[in-house]
Structure 1
Amino acid sequence: MRYTTLGADSGLRVSELALGTSNFGTKWATGADKQVSQQIFDGFAEAGGTFVDTADTYQQGESETYLADFLAADRDHFVVASKFTYGSSGQTGVSKTGNSRKSIIRSLEATLTRLGTDYLDLYWAHSPDLVTPIEEITSTLDDLIRAGKILHGGLSNFPAWQVAQAVAATRALGRRPIVAAQLEYSLAARDGERELIPMAEGLGIGAALYSPLGGGLLTGKYRSSTEGRLSTLKSIIQREDSAQKTAVVDALLDISAETGTPAAVLAIAWLRARNARSRTSLVTIIGPRTTDQLDSYLQALDLEPTADQYARLDKASAPVLGIPHDVARTRLNAVLGDALAQFTLPDGRPLS
């Protein structure tokens, strides 16, 4: 397990994998009971994992309740993050959800009680609520930092312009509560390369990447079965609904057949290699429901894709960046031609 700080502008030390705990609990249609959740938590910790990510809405609050017992023996060893916005069981409705100052403070007090702790290392806004100004969110997080209730703040599922606005405004005021963004990212969904990841790199904040297997798509299992999110939650984060996603799964399964390595392990290993090429700290959030799934994630820590394997997966999954990115690249190619290939980025990647 490698370790990093969450962003170039933060001293918050985290493991390269974060344990997402949306499956800790049995209040939803799918999840792990307390005994299995404890085994997953212990296995993650034994592998060197220190970063734990939960939310008040996960399993209607049961995820946080489970974690209270798991963390009790050595709370300060772990970096604990939770989220507000959607509320938990019995704490929903117009006055008890969203990102208002009232909702943030109310949600935090309930989360701290469920977790059995007096502070959070990181507190995320789970999503924009389409109503609350970003200034209200950041000023509230700043107040909570000054009160010692949280150490850092972050924004999850926010557009890049709002994250950049929040970071710039807080820095101008001498406050720095926003240290990271959270977004979906995998071989099946590299949309974050348009704006969010370049923004994180440019501002020196970290990024936590969730759903690294596309909700199970990148395991290849949905080609032969609907077992998983598709059958339990009647939904899936990513479907094989485009020629590109088919090409990605094909490439994973081809390499899997050639090497004998499960497609899921290859997908995580590619992501780990991709993260190492970033100019800021990218942390992958894993969300196992079983100990076998945890073992699959951890196997990727010992696998380094070959240059050819990385390139095949990279090419199959490359996102269309759109305007203005592709316009700039097209014009540079027209002006510089082959000379463009001689340029490299600071991390050694070719510009072309």
Structure 2
Amino acid sequence: MQYTTFGRANGLRVSEYALGAGNFGTRWGTGAEPAEARKIFDRFADAGGTFVDTAESYQFGESEEILADLIAAERDRFTLATKFTNGVTPQAGVQATGNSRKNMVRAVEASLRRLRTDHIDLFWVHFPDPVTPMEEILRGLDDLVSAGKIHYAGLSNFPAWRVSRAVALAELRGWAPVSAVQFEYSLVERSADRELLPMADALGLGAALWSPLGGGLLTGKYRDGDEGRQQTVLKRLLHTEDGGRKTAAVDAVLAVAEEIGAPPAQVAMAWLRERAARATTAYVPIIGPRTVKQLDDYLAALDVPLSAEQYQRLTEAGAITLGQPHEQIEAQRAVVLGGDADRFRTRAVPVA
């Protein structure tokens, strides 16, 4: 396992995979029992993993409770991230959901108790809500950083325009910065190519990428009739081959897997690792194994090589149309560069 700072805008050190703990516990009706969760966690740690991601709502609080036991002996070895917004259960109610300062304080105190720790390394706002002003969110996070209860703050599942505004507001007001963003990204979900990833690259934010296998679609197992988790509470996180682009992406993954003799899931993860290597900030996939075997498959992908041709083929198969204004900008590229676009080279943003 290699390590990186979580973007250019902070010094937080993380492993190249984050262990998603949404499957730690069984209160959702599916997941890993505590004994299996310990095996997964220990295997991840033995492989050099240090970044662990959870949320107060995962398994209705059980994920955090299990993690408390797992990290107790070596708390400072791990970068521990958790989230708030949705409350612990679907019945949490109006006072225990959303992003208000009131709910933020309630959530961080409750997570600290469940995790049995005195600080959270990275505290995510899990989702935007339609009512809380960004200024209130940022000021609340700044207070928590000043109090030492959290060390870094991030925005999860926020649109790029809201993140960009938050970064600017925090800088202008001298508040704790937005250090990272989290969103879905894989070969079958490339929407972030339009705005979110270019924004993260430009601003130096760390990017945590959830569902890197498209909810299992990129393993190819659903083509064999394995419905499995499609019948579970996690159905909303899954993808199906509901369009030509997704089918093309799965076809390309299966073809490359056949060429190099590796499982399709490892090919999909190898593509994402190469994608991260070409970025100017940190892209960290969040893996969510339910078994040690699944974790071993993720870890094995760290040693799967892709040729430049294979990487390009996979990239093109899963590519999305960027739409406006991006296509218009590209069409005007030569004009705005003085009629000779070939004289200009795109420069990576330097490390500050």
Name the TM tier (shorter chain).
over 0.9
Aligned position for 2:148: 148
Contact 2:127 2:155 in 1 (8 A): yes
Aligned position for 1:308: 309
One-letter amino acid of the counterpart of residue 219, structure 1: T
One-letter amino acid of the counterpart of residue 310, structure 1: Y
CA shift, 1:293, in A, is: 0.8
One-letter amino acid of the counterpart of residue 305, structure 1: L
Aligned position for 1:10: 10
For structure 2, which runs of at least 5 residues remain unmatched after alignment?
A: none
Q: Are residues 1:274 and 2:275 paired?
A: yes
Aligned position for 1:172: 172
Q: Which segment is superposed worse, 1-10 or 241-250?
A: 1-10
CA shift, 1:176, in A, is: 2.7
Aligned position for 2:220: 220
Residue 150 of structure 2: SS of its match in structure 1? Answer: coil
CA shift, 1:292, in A, is: 1.0
CA shift, 1:197, in A, is: 1.0
Q: Which segment is superposed worse, 303-312 or 55-64?
A: 303-312
Aligned equivalents of 1:341, 1:193: Cα separation in 2: 23
- Evaluate the alpha carbon distance shift between residue 235 and residue 226 of structure 1 in structure 2; reply closer, same or farther with a 3 A threshold: farther
Contact 2:230 2:238 in 1 (8 A): no
Aligned position for 2:48: 48
Q: Are residues 1:198 and 2:207 paired?
A: no
Cα RMSD of the aligned pairs, angstroms, is 1.9
Residue 96 of structure 2: SS of its match in structure 1? Answer: coil
CA shift, 1:290, in A, is: 0.9
Contact 1:54 1:82 in 2 (8 A): yes
Aligned position for 2:209: 209
Aligned equivalents of 1:235, 1:128: Cα separation in 2: 18
CA shift, 1:190, in A, is: 1.0
One-letter amino acid of the counterpart of residue 283, structure 1: V
Aligned equivalents of 1:62, 1:255: Cα separation in 2: 39
Q: C-alpha offsets along residues 93-128 of structure 1, whole Å, 9 cap, x if unaligned?
A: 111111000100001111000001010001000001
Residue 7 of structure 1: SS of its match in structure 2? Answer: coil
- Evaluate the alpha carbon distance shift between residue 196 and residue 70 of structure 1 in structure 2; reply closer, same or farther with a 3 A threshold: same
CA shift, 1:214, in A, is: 0.5
Residue 314 of structure 1: SS of its match in structure 2? Answer: helix
Q: C-alpha offsets along residues 38-97 of structure 1, whole Å, 9 cap, x if unaligned?
A: 011011111111000000000000000000000001000000000000111487111111
CA shift, 1:347, in A, is: 4.8
Q: C-alpha offsets along residues 251-289 of structure 1, whole Å, 9 cap, x if unaligned?
A: 111111222210000000000000111111111111111
Contact 1:216 1:228 in 2 (8 A): no
One-letter amino acid of the counterpart of residue 284, structure 1: P
Aligned equivalents of 1:129, 1:9: Cα separation in 2: 26
Aligned residues: 348
Contact 1:145 1:177 in 2 (8 A): no
Contact 2:138 2:175 in 1 (8 A): no
Q: Are residues 1:327 and 2:317 paired?
A: no
CA shift, 1:328, in A, is: 1.1
One-letter amino acid of the counterpart of residue 60, structure 2: Q
CA shift, 1:29, in A, is: 2.7
Aligned position for 1:102: 102
Residue 266 of structure 2: SS of its match in structure 1? Answer: helix
Q: Within 5 Å, give how 1:12-161 maps onto structure 2.
A: 12-89=12-89, 92-161=92-161
Residue 73 of structure 2: SS of its match in structure 1? Answer: coil
Identity of aligned residues (%): 56
Aligned position for 1:296: 297
Contact 1:273 1:304 in 2 (8 A): no
TM-score normalised by the chain length of structure 2: 0.95
Aligned equivalents of 1:91, 1:117: Cα separation in 2: 26
Aligned position for 1:237: 238
Aligned equivalents of 1:69, 1:150: Cα separation in 2: 20
Aligned equivalents of 1:333, 1:22: Cα separation in 2: 47
For structure 1, which runs of at least 5 residues remain unmatched after alignment?
A: none
Aligned equivalents of 2:144, 2:91: Cα separation in 1: 21
Q: Which segment is superposed worse, 172-181 or 284-293?
A: 172-181
CA shift, 1:139, in A, is: 0.3
Contact 1:25 1:34 in 2 (8 A): yes
Contact 1:229 1:236 in 2 (8 A): no
TM-score normalised by the chain length of structure 1: 0.95
